[in-house]
Amino acid sequence: MVPMCAAASSGRGQSSSARREPGDHRSARRAAGAHRAPRRPRWGRTLGLIGVLILLGGLGVFLPRRFGLGPWAPPSADAKPLTEPQLSALPLGQRIVAIAKSQLGYTSDPQDTYCNKYSAYWVSGTECGNGNYNEEWCADFAAWVWQKAGALVDYQYINGDINSSSASFYEWGVDHGTWHPVGSGYVPQPGDVAVYGLDAPALIAEHVAVVTGYQAGAKGPDVINGDGDRTAFSVVEAVDDQYTADTHLTHYAQATISGYVSPTPVGS
């Protein structure tokens, strides 16, 4: 199986500035008898600026939700990692969410590669020379979070086990009776893994992400992506209402939410 995950565009935006033609246009206007428009009162300019900010804020909320690209949620500056006793006291799903949130902002190293610590934990991919391993790592991240939280993870390259292939979570869920396809009426729970762009006969999926919550009426779940690329290349990031996978733009049409896999506690 080929690991399918988030992929970042290599294109970079280019800035440009308008070229000023020779000559002083302001002097030409004055020579022609042009008069400067009356200056708007300071309070008027302030109200105008506030109006623009309100409009931009509204677009920032409406557009992402309209197209299923929920806003990125940065980690809180006041958030502190839970202690081991605090984690142990939580239900499995909440432990998974807490551990996933503790990784927000992590980026691959070097940043222009897929070299990451989660694949290194599973010794999967190719060595990077700095202790990290290089491969697309959304599934490696989700497996790492599950394992650290105390969920059952058999990481092997055998059909039915979890590995770096996003579709392996689907296979694992089917084998363990915890696969919930979209349309089944299942409400995603915190700690589930969302699977995107699944082609079940071919055993291929585009992406997986850890579910942190779900609001009634939303098109998709709130998630934390490993190997995300909405805000940077190959980063752990949070997105609300993620209906389409956090993958390269050309894949969006086929990488919609396909279903959810629920974790199973170790020993159950």
| Co-location of 63 and 178 in the same domain | no
Domain-located, residue 30: no
Residue 115 and residue 56 share a domain: no
* CATH label of the domain that carries residue 130: 3.90.1720
Band (53; pLDDT cuts 50, 70, 90): low
| Distance of alpha carbon 28 from alpha carbon 23, whole angstroms | 8
23 domain-assigned = no
pLDDT at 38: 42
Residue 119 located in a structural domain: yes
Model pTM score: 0.71
Write out pLDDT tens, residues 232-241: 899 999 999 9
pLDDT of residue 80: 63
115 and 46 share a domain?
no
Are residues 88 and 54 both part of a single domain? Answer: no
In this prediction, residues 51-80 reach a mean pLDDT of 46
What is the overall mean pLDDT for the chain? 77
Last residue of a domain, one of 48, 68, 88: 68
pLDDT of residue 229: 87
**Picking from 74-78, 118-122, 148-152, which range would have the lowest pLDDT averaged per residue?**
74-78
Average pLDDT over residues 142-157: 96
Tell me: do 48 and 116 sit in the same domain.
no
Residues 155 and 59 in one domain: no
- In tens, the pLDDT along 75-101 reads 444 456 667 666 667 899 999 999 999
User: Does residue 65 register a pLDDT over 50?
Assistant: no
Q: Is pLDDT above 70 for 17?
A: no
7, part of any domain: no
Does 47 share its domain with 60? yes
In a domain, 180, yes or no: yes
d(CA 13, CA 179): 40
If one counts the domains in the chain, the total is: 2
Mean pLDDT confidence for 25-40? 36
Verify that 232 and 149 share a domain, yes or no.
yes
Q: How far is CA 23 from CA 16, 27, 29, 32, 33, in A?
A: 21, 9, 11, 15, 17
Identify whether 253 is part of a domain: yes
Residue 199's H or E segment, with its range, is: none
Residue 80 to residue 209: CA distance in whole angstroms: 22
Domain containing 148 equals 71-261
- Over residues 197-223, the pLDDT tens digits come to 999 999 999 999 999 999 999 999 999
Judge whether residue 151 has pLDDT over 80: yes
198 and 95 fall within a common domain: yes
Taking residues 40-62, report their average pLDDT: 52
Same-domain status, 112 and 213: yes
Mean pLDDT for 131-139 is 97
Residue 105 lies in a domain: yes
> Rounded CA gap, 161 and 163, in Å?
7
Question: Do 44 and 170 have their domain in common?
Answer: no
Percent of the chain at pLDDT > 90 equals: 58
Model confidence band, residue 66 (pLDDT cutoffs 50, 70, 90): very low
Residue 199 lies in a domain: yes
Do both 80 and 213 map to the same domain?
yes
